[in-house]
Amino acid sequence: MVWLGADVEAFPPLECALTDPPGLLAAGGDLSPERLLAAYRRGIFPWYEEPQPILWWSPDPRTVLIPAELHVSASLRRTLRRRVYTVSVDRCFARVIDNCAAPRRGASGTWIGSAMRAAYCELHRRGHAHSFEAWRDGELVGGLYGIAIGRIFFGESMFSRADDASKVALAHLATQLRAWKFTLIDCQQDTPHLRRLGARSIARPRFRDILAANVDATGRTGAWRLDWEDHGEPWVIR
């Protein structure tokens, strides 16, 4: 396994990733905005628990969600139509990441430590990281965050404190990205939950090719806003 030095661009080829543990590519380095953006552009992301060294991953296969392929169940569609939750974007990024970092049932720790939190909040300040928030009666009850580069959204984590709250946030994300002609949402790891929502796995070389064709495209930087008024009613609730 490669240990990273000072050069933020010097990641090893993805083919060098280990098979055990699957996808582990490199260790060390830092979480500077420049290194993080360089990593994501190559299909690499950090995932570790403090006080471990920073670990960098590129799993094969890669789980992705095409915005137009989001599976909206009948119950979720009813929730969306009834507008049980109000959804915002980039209103409270730090609160979303804090909720994602909170201990979860059956988990012994969290991979979103203080260094990760600070790094992604800085990316948000620079207009690269974004959050979608679900509210009920003025209370934040669900949300997600990730990084946008070109026409790719790299999903990082989500949380839910009420039924379907994170799914509602995801439905709004997928709808907005579809309107903006984003190509895919990177989900990183395969889970049954993501499969039920329409995610699928693709081979790492295919994922790398998709990134190469999309990360240099003109994207959306700065604070985002929902602009349904420009695109009509969200397709997910029709």
CATH number at 70 reads 3.40.630.70
- Look at residues 59, 74, 101 and tell me which one is the last residue of a structural domain: 59
Do 11 and 98 have their domain in common?
no
Do 195 and 83 have their domain in common?
yes
Do 43 and 154 have their domain in common?
no
Do 119 and 35 have their domain in common?
no
- Look at residues 24, 42, 59 and tell me which one is the last residue of a structural domain: 59
Do 200 and 86 have their domain in common?
yes
Do 40 and 78 have their domain in common?
no
Give pLDDT, residue 56: 98
pTM: 0.94
Do 103 and 10 have their domain in common?
no
Nearest-angstrom CA–CA distance, 141 and 139: 6
The answer to whether the CB of 219 falls within 8 A of the CB of 150 is yes
Write down the number of H helices and E strands in the chain. Answer: 8, 11
Where residue 32 sits, what CATH number does that domain have? 3.30.70.3550
Do 229 and 162 have their domain in common?
yes
In three-state form (DSSP H/G/I as H, E/B as E, the rest C), the secondary structure along 113-143 is CHHHHHHHHHHHHCCCEEEEEEEECCEEEEE
Q: Domain range spanning residue 217?
A: 63-237
The answer to whether the CB of 204 falls within 8 A of the CB of 60 is yes
Do 14 and 114 have their domain in common?
no
Instruction: Using DSSP bridges, classify how beta strands 184-188 and 152-160 pair: parallel, antiparallel or unpaired.
Output: parallel
Do 130 and 168 have their domain in common?
yes
The answer to whether the CB of 85 falls within 8 A of the CB of 141 is yes
Give pLDDT, residue 228: 62
Do 199 and 220 have their domain in common?
yes
The answer to whether the CB of 157 falls within 8 A of the CB of 173 is no
Segments in the chain below pLDDT 70: 105-109, 228-238
Give pLDDT, residue 238: 53
Give pLDDT, residue 109: 54
The distance in angstroms from the start CA to the end CA of the chain is: 49
Burial bucket for residue 113 (CB in 10 Å: 0-12, 13-18, 19+): middle
Do 70 and 168 have their domain in common?
yes
State both tokens at 117. 């939190």
